[in-house]
């Protein structure tokens, strides 16, 4: 009797799927979704209760850190005139994109993980997917602009970035990212609504145009920018190593002279700033690369998309991608002295994790001068 009732329930589910595909041809209803719906009707769950608790705690922690930390970054740049430099404008826009990602994606994932279903509309599901790729693209574009600026300063000794040009880059990044991710809101390419995934994700399809869009989205949002950043960082590290060895040799040769080689400014300050950007690059690559690769595999491979662990693996990768917005403000606080001073002044109780440092004079110089020696004008 139990077997007969099970097969009758399975037959009803198959007929429902066929009717859904006939009425809405763009919907992607997989066999796994049918099994999950049948399991939920029998009292089953997509995730175990301990795993739901772990996911919920992680998502809540990530949401609070991303909202509070990035909000502080935006307020500091807006309210303090000393922090309104070109680089800080880019970092503030990166913080705003991360905060937008936390508002438009993380809460919906939390509700889906707890309830194992999507209680919202399909339009809101597509909008969350659009904002996910929109904010990711803007964040990567800001890191790319900062990396290219460091390359021009350290390697080429050219200080091209101004606050006005930074604002132009910010506007262009949002416009390009919007046109790149807006097709997700128009239901093309098709999206998979939970419970097969924690939110709307790229679904499997055999259409060539769909595959072309997915490849363009992944290339422009992740692969091309990170390839350019990697080349820039390699050139910067090579330039730093070359000039450090050059200074050591010049210093050794000048020991017999009455006046040894004298550096015009503090070299370690801007070198520390470069390694801060390098740390942001490593964190962004480690958090976004698994999600992008997994999305490509799900779009091209039916075995991955219809796999039994698709929901759980998607949740892990989404939480990993949300670590970047949560940890970026902590990196700013630990690595940027001006940001620590601003936090100590405006949010003394929450952000004074270290003893307050003495106030130091602001440097009134071009960033490219920091990497110059008084004799050869070589860059550090």
How confident is the model at residue 242, as a pLDDT?
Answer: 75
Q: What is the DSSP letter of 203?
A: P
Q: Give 258: exposed, middle or buried? Use CB within 10 Å, 0-12, 13-18, 19+.
A: exposed
Rounded to whole angstroms, how far apart are CA atoms 137 and 129? 12
How confident is the model at residue 246, as a pLDDT?
Answer: 63
With CA atoms as reference, report the closest residue to 68 among 350, 331, 299, 321.
350
Q: What is the DSSP letter of 201?
A: E
How does DSSP assign 329-349, residue by residue? HHHHHHH-HHHHHHHHHHSHH
Cβ 161 vs Cβ 231: under 8 Å:
no
Block residue for tokens 């779009």: 299
How confident is the model at residue 380, as a pLDDT?
Answer: 36
How confident is the model at residue 28, as a pLDDT?
Answer: 38
Q: How far does the chain reach from its first CA to its final CA, in angstroms? A: 79
The domain ranges of the chain are 1-44, 47-253+261-353+364-371
Structure token pair of residue 266:
């503090």
Rounded to whole angstroms, how far apart are CA atoms 345 and 145? 29
Helix axes 86-104, 310-335, angle to 10 degrees: 150
How far is residue 21 from each of residues 10, 31, 117, 132, measured CA to CA in Å?
17, 13, 20, 27
Q: CATH top-level class for 47-253+261-353+364-371?
A: mainly alpha
Tens digits of residue pLDDT in 216-261: 999 999 999 999 999 999 998 888 877 766 665 655 555 555 544 4
**Which residue positions in the chain have pLDDT lower than 70?**
1-46, 187-196, 244-272, 346-380
How far is residue 205 from each of residues 27, 101, 143, 214, 300, measured CA to CA in Å?
11, 27, 32, 11, 7
How many helices (H) and strands (E) would you count in the chain?
14, 2
Tens digits of residue pLDDT in 320-378: 999 999 999 989 888 887 777 777 776 655 444 445 545 554 444 455 544 444 444 44
How confident is the model at residue 348, as a pLDDT?
Answer: 56
How confident is the model at residue 255, as a pLDDT?
Answer: 52
């Amino acid at each position: 009797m139990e077997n007969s009732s099970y097969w009758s329930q399975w037959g009803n589910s198959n007929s429902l799927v066929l009717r859904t595909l006939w009425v809405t041809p763009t919907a992607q209803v997989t066999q796994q979704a049918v099994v999950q719906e049948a399991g939920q009707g029998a009292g089953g769950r997509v995730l175990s209760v301990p795993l739901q608790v772990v996911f919920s705690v992680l998502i809540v922690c990530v949401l609070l850190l991303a909202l509070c930390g990035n909000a502080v970054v935006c307020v500091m740049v807006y309210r303090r005139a000393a922090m309104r430099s070109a680089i800080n404008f880019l970092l503030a826009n990166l913080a705003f994109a991360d905060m937008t990602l936390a508002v438009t994606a993380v809460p919906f994932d939390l509700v889906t993980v707890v309830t194992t279903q999507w209680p919202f509309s399909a339009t809101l599901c597509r909008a969350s997917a659009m904002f996910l790729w929109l904010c990711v693209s803007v964040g990567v574009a800001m890191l790319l602009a900062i990396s290219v600026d460091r390359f021009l300063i350290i390697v080429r000794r050219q200080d091209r970035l101004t606050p006005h040009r930074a604002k132009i880059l910010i506007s262009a990044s949002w416009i390009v990212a919007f046109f790149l991710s807006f097709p997700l809101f128009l239901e093309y390419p098709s999206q998979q609504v939970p419970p097969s995934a924690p939110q709307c994700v790229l679904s499997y399809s055999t259409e060539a145009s769909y595959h072309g869009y997915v490849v363009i989205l992944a290339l422009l949002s992740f692969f091309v920018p990170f390839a350019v950043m990697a080349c820039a960082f390699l050139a910067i590290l090579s330039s730093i190593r070359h000039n450090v060895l050059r200074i050591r040799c010049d210093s050794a040769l000048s020991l017999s002279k009455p006046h040894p080689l004298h550096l015009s400014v503090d070299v370690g300050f801007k070198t520390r700033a470069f390694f801060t950007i390098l740390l942001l690059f490593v964190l962004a690559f480690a958090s976004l690369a698994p999600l992008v690769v997994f999305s490509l595999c799900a779009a091209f491979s039916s075995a991955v998309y219809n796999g039994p662990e698709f929901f759980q693996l998607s949740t892990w990768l989404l939480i990993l991608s949300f670590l970047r917005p949560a940890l970026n403000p902590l990196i700013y606080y630990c690595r940027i002295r001006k940001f620590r001073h601003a936090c100590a002044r405006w949010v003394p109780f929450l952000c004074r994790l270290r003893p307050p440092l003495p106030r130091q004079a602001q440097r009134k110089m071009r960033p490219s001068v920091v990497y110059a020696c008084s004799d050869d004008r070589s860059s550090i």
